[in-house]
Structure 1
């Protein structure tokens, strides 16, 4: 017994030397000498008559990497991470500080299972990372394929090519080496190559374009509505509506449509050939040819044809003024007045073509008259006077009346008021201080006073009267001093908006209204051309909704290289699958399950 106590005392002495320092020692407190500690331990053991508990050794930490000490207890990091239940995972840990205890734990079944679970978990996490990387690449390829698909549909709409050509065009692009399209197919049946898919894509693109247009309308201070009626190839009446708005960033008006005008002079150029043709048909006793020939060789028909060749160029010139995309308001009233004056002149005297007719009429036998070798019927001096006094005069009067109805004095006065903002004649007037004040006062009366509507609603003025007059006096001097160009009202006020925005807020408001005034419907006419190019004889079964989507893309859509296809892809996916985030989670989960082996599925449920 004494020998055992002596051996135990020697062991405690060695243990006190090699054991790790206590927190008090680390804090710098005084440590007892080894001899003193040995005597104390020996006394305690001797007094208690029992063996003292062991303490953990530092070398065990390097021997077993899973081991760590905490609060006077030994813990297993692996078993604790895998939620095993044993002395090394308890609340106070294992306090049996023996080498054999740790050795038994290493070979225990629970510890070995914990190690295997950790390895499987690590492999599962790595597999998940690899799957995610693979899935990310796959998603990227699919997105590129979707953009290529959208770009194809967009191009078809911009070029007015039938949608049913979409599958054929996809196959052609594949033959040309567009490898991104190979990722379109999903499973066996979902190839996204049908015309139905193309129509869904058109809906998504049109939705993006309409969303952009709505944002522009919300930002613009003023806009106007242009309406016109047309009939498409299937004899269906359409009311075409367009918006003319102001881009607040560039201070410019935006329009999107094109048109071509052709002068109807076919009969005038081919009259001789028509007469020869119908004379030959008349010889074969064709009653229709005989009736047409009888009408086209009369003096009234020929004189009306020559009169139209004088009148139509005047009206065409006026029409071309209104077909300009950026119409200068200063040109409206002069152009209308010039057209009216020209029609009045043609009413009183012969135009160039009527003079040519008089020179080309050659007397023939028996008092008859020939034109280009053909005898005219009912061609006498009395008939000529009757035509000029009755037909020509009434025809020109009706044209002048229609022009006055189309451009009444009230609206012309409003246009004239706004034309003062162009300041075109400012350099040539003597009294620059007084110039334009009367028209500015009229504009102030329209927009600088409170207006009460029929339902007693009061509309506040949109400009300040006194400030507008002060700004007008200042802007005239500024424009002359800076030598700003005044050929176009839009160009002038774009410069003033860019460099002097704070100086002229009220005048800029008036200029904004002037730029969006609906003085013509040429934009609608250009829209008819787009409609007719889209709904052709071979596509006459296009529904109104589909035609509207195609026209939206063709007219409002930017060039193919400038359109944001990712937004359209997002709209399309949202309609098909719901929220993009929810759709991504579903796809990720589905792909993840495909790649998982049965043990991994079990581990996913565990962790």
Structure 2
């Protein structure tokens, strides 16, 4: 058979041959297995190969439609040369991949957004890295993708940064805790150094008195403020020292007694050394049965309770006013005016404007409070100073309450009562201020009370110029205009009350209350102590000098020169205390001392100064009287220091710092009250204590 002539092979034959297709397919498959590319990469490569083949075919055949020719050739090649299962492999490669939720467990830094169907590396995003897993568009859901990312330099750098941040935060927190503890320990060291000095003063003092009072702090916790009254045996300088501020569970006498016994500062004071208890006079303090006084006197029968003279006097004016009905109504008007302005800034501003026009001080009406010292006087004084402005305000204000106050305040009775109280109240207020002095001499108590009574009697009887403020009202501030009484351009309606009668009733009531609260009898030890100041002996004749002060001395001998025995109870046994002084020797010393003081010319204006000189020069000659003088100087005649302590407590523990612990408050109060001036404080002792507690901290500083 004849063979057909052999045709020359062309490029078209080559690209369409099965060998080429096989070679091309093998190449694509190998690339796929090697690089794990997705379907989009394979399509791009196939499209490029097809475009190149179409271009070559067009050039060889001069076909103006290379796309159609290429397509036909490609279809022909696929139909003649691809195996039957090639279609199944292509379909398997093009399957859509999905996110596996278990990856979130395996890769803790991975996050998945279902809405965008994309995964993100939270570490790389947080540390501002730039890669495929920070764009928010990565949907190449393959384990190999995550593995490669975990090994990438970006991710490793982000992971290292996280580890360093966590370590730094822990280090800073640890250092902060250590520094905070160091500050707390420094606070304790300073407080401990001051407390040590206080306890040393208590130990040196021959006798000690305890002062205590209760209050509730801003955190609604019941607090007990405790002070000690001591005297320096060398200088005879008396002082009231802060001891502690303790939280108590019970406000009963037993609860307070237990709190005092549990306080380390009080626990170390021998009970036979505690000779006085100063309190505000409540039954829980003064009761001889279940009161604090009862419990302490069963420990030391020689101990006496002192009702604070400032508390006693503070209630004199308020209780005296309660016995005069018109003054009760007057106080109600003042209270109503206070709340009228307190609830409105607009009214207060309008009142200030009127005060400016009338050239009166910009003052706010004060509240009358029974338990606050001097509150009655302060409220009355404020109304007196701005009375013209108040009447003008209420007269022009359209509010119904204003009209009611206007009718009351333009009455002569109200105005005259205000002036009368300005004559009476300052006398009692001056005495109240004296009784709050920290270094008050016990010898001044009786003298001051007697002076107050005398001045009140003068005003009552109309002697020595009568009442200066009432006289000013009648002679200067009240005018008559066409038959009408005018007070500073405001028309006044004549009142129904007799102001002189009200004044007499009020003063009589005050004098009666003063006699009740400051009795002059044999039981008043405080008045008996005053004889030791020996103030009037310069005015005594030789005969009078021999008997002067003997009666008061006998009161002291009866209290401190006899054996005392307590009454037994279920919890407290009988306690017997020996006399502090020897009666006969004390009387002899007293007879010898009076002429000696005159002869030496010792100053007697202050008891501590007098007895310092006696102690320094005649210590062995007058031992019994020196003991009585020490008892007098340590007598807790008022508890104003406790009240000042509560003011300090409220400055330390405020509404913004209401979670401060009781121990921290106590330490801060010790520093604030007993620390003294900053420039005079010796920090060497607390610094030494602090360094001992902070060895680790200081060793780290030395290493640095």
Normalised-by-shorter TM-score class: 0.5 to 0.7
Identify unmatched segments of 5+ residues in structure 1.
1-185, 596-607
Structure 2 match to 1:362 = 479
Q: Residues 188 and 266 (structure 1 numbering): CA distance in 2 closer, same or farther, change over 3 Å?
A: closer
Other structure's SS at 2:547 match = coil
Count of equivalent residues: 390
Tell me whether 1:316 sits opposite 2:301 in the alignment. Answer: no
Which residue of the other structure, out of 623, 626, 629, is the alignment partner of 1:511?
Answer: 629
- Per the TM alignment, residue 498 of structure 1 is displaced from its structure 2 partner at its CA by 1.6
The runs of 5 or more residues in structure 2 that have no matched partner are 1-170, 243-372, 569-573
Shift of 1:472: 1.4
Distance 1:500 1:517 in 2: 23
Distance across 2 between alignment mates of 1:241 and 1:553: 15
1:445 paired to 2:551: no
Match of 1:427 in 2: 538
Residue 122 of structure 1 is matched in structure 2 by none
Is residue 244 of structure 1 aligned with residue 229 of structure 2? yes
Match in the other structure for 2:159: none
Q: Shift in Å at residue 251 of structure 1?
A: 1.6
Match of 1:190 in 2: 175
**1:337 corresponds to 2:450:** yes
Question: Are positions 1:201 and 2:186 aligned together?
Answer: yes
- Residue in structure 2 matched with residue 218 of structure 1 by the alignment: 203
Q: TM-score, normalised by structure 1?
A: 0.57
Aligned equivalent of 1:351: 467
Q: What is the aligned counterpart of 2:393 among 257, 274, 277?
A: 277
Find the counterpart in structure 2 of residue 49 from structure 1.
Answer: none
Name the Cα RMSD after superposition: 3.6
| 8 Å contact from structure 2 (residues 234, 616) kept in 1 | no
Shift in Å, 1:314: 0.4
**Would the alpha carbon gap of residues 236 and 292 (structure 1) be closer, same or farther in structure 2, given more than 3 Å must change?**
farther
Distance (whole Å) between structure 1 residues aligned to residue 209 and residue 635 of structure 2: 6
* Deviation of the 1:239 alpha carbon: 4.5
Take 2:172 and 2:653, find their aligned partners in 1: how far apart are those partners?
Answer: 35
Residue aligning to 1:388: 500
Partner of 1:292 in structure 2? 405
Superposition deviation, residue 495 in structure 1? 0.9
Is the Cα–Cα contact under 8 Å of residues 523 and 555 in structure 2 kept in the other structure?
no
1:330–1:535 Cα change, 3 Å:
same
8 Å Cα contact 1:421-1:511 kept in structure 2 = yes
Partner of 1:474: 592
Cα distance in 2, alignment partners of residues 478 and 295 from structure 1: 64
**Structure 1 residues 332-341 or 516-525, which shifts more?**
516-525
> Could you tell me how far apart the structure 2 residues matched to 1:274 and 1:545 are?
48
For 2:509 and 2:182, how far apart are their aligned partners in 1? 54
Question: Aligned partners of 2:186, 2:231: CA distance in 1, in Å?
Answer: 29
Shift of 1:212: 2.2
Q: How does 1:502-581 map to 2 (within 5 A)?
A: 502-535=620-653, 539=657, 542-572=660-690
Q: 1:239/1:305 Cα in 2 relative to 1: closer, same or farther (>3 Å)?
A: farther
Question: What pairs up with 1:125-144 in 2 under 5 angstroms?
Answer: none
Cα 1:351–1:330 shift into 2, 3 Å: same
Once residues 214 and 414 of structure 1 are traced to their aligned partners in structure 2, the CA distance between those partners, rounded to angstroms, is 27
Which residues in structure 2 correspond to 1:129-168 (within 5 Å)? none
Quote the residue 1:494 is aligned against: 612
Tell me how far apart the structure 2 counterparts of residues 515 and 473 of structure 1 sit (CA, whole Å).
Answer: 21
Structure 1 residues 534 and 187, CA, compared in 2 at 3 Å: closer, same or farther?
A: closer
Higher relative contact order (CA 8 A, sep 6+): 1
After TM superposition, the structure 1 = structure 2 runs for residues 6-17 of structure 1, keeping only pairs within 5 Å, are none
Separation of aligned partners in 2, 1:362 and 1:450: 70
The Cα of 1:254 is off from its aligned counterpart by 1.1
Q: CA deviation at 1:233?
A: 6.5
Distance 1:237 1:363 in 2: 58
Give the match's secondary structure for 1:209.
helix
Q: Which moved more, 1:499-508 or 1:453-462?
A: 453-462
Whole-angstrom CA distance in 1 between matches of 2:508 and 2:497? 19
Aligned-residue offset at 1:463: 0.4
1:188–1:444 CA distance, 2 compared to 1 (3 A) = closer
User: Is 1:246–1:515's contact at 8 Å kept on the other side of the alignment?
Assistant: yes
1:553 Cα deviation after fit:
0.7
Cα distance change of structure 1 residues 188 and 198 upon mapping to structure 2, 3 Å threshold: closer
- Asked if 1 retains the 8 angstrom alpha-carbon contact of 2:236 and 2:609, the reply is no
Superposition deviation, residue 548 in structure 1: 2.9
Aligned ranges 1:34-45 → 2 under 5 Å: none
| Change in 2 beyond 3 A, CA 1:388/1:233 | farther
**Cα distance, 1:197 vs structure 2:** 4.3
Residues 224 and 243 in structure 1, CA contact (< 8 A), matched pair in contact too:
yes
- Give a deviation string over 1:476-530, Cα, whole Å, max 9, x none: 2322222211111110001111222111111100000111112223333443443
Q: Which residue of 1 aligns with 2:526?
A: 415
Q: Provide the C-alpha distance between the structure 2 equivalents of 1:236 and 1:355, rounded to a whole number of angstroms.
A: 51
**Structure 2 Cα separation of the partners of residues 237 and 356 of structure 1:** 49
**Equivalent residues of 1:333, 1:412 under 8 A apart:** no
Question: Do the aligned partners of 1:229 and 1:238 also contact (CA within 8 Å) in 2?
Answer: yes
Question: CA offsets, 1:121-143, max 9 Å, x none?
Answer: xxxxxxxxxxxxxxxxxxxxxxx
* Contact kept in structure 2, 1:433 and 1:473, CA below 8 Å: yes
1:269 shift after superposition = 0.9
Is 2:560–2:580's contact at 8 Å kept on the other side of the alignment? yes
- Aligned partner of 2:511 in structure 1 is 400
Asked if 1 retains the 8 angstrom alpha-carbon contact of 2:520 and 2:527, the reply is no
Deviations 1:375-416 (A, max 9, x none): 223x24xx242x432x43443344334323432334884223
Within 2, Cα distance between the matches of 1:355 and 1:412? 42
How far apart, CA to CA, are the structure 1 residues paired with 2:633 and 2:444? 13
In 2, the alpha carbon distance for the partners of 1:403 and 1:229 equals 25
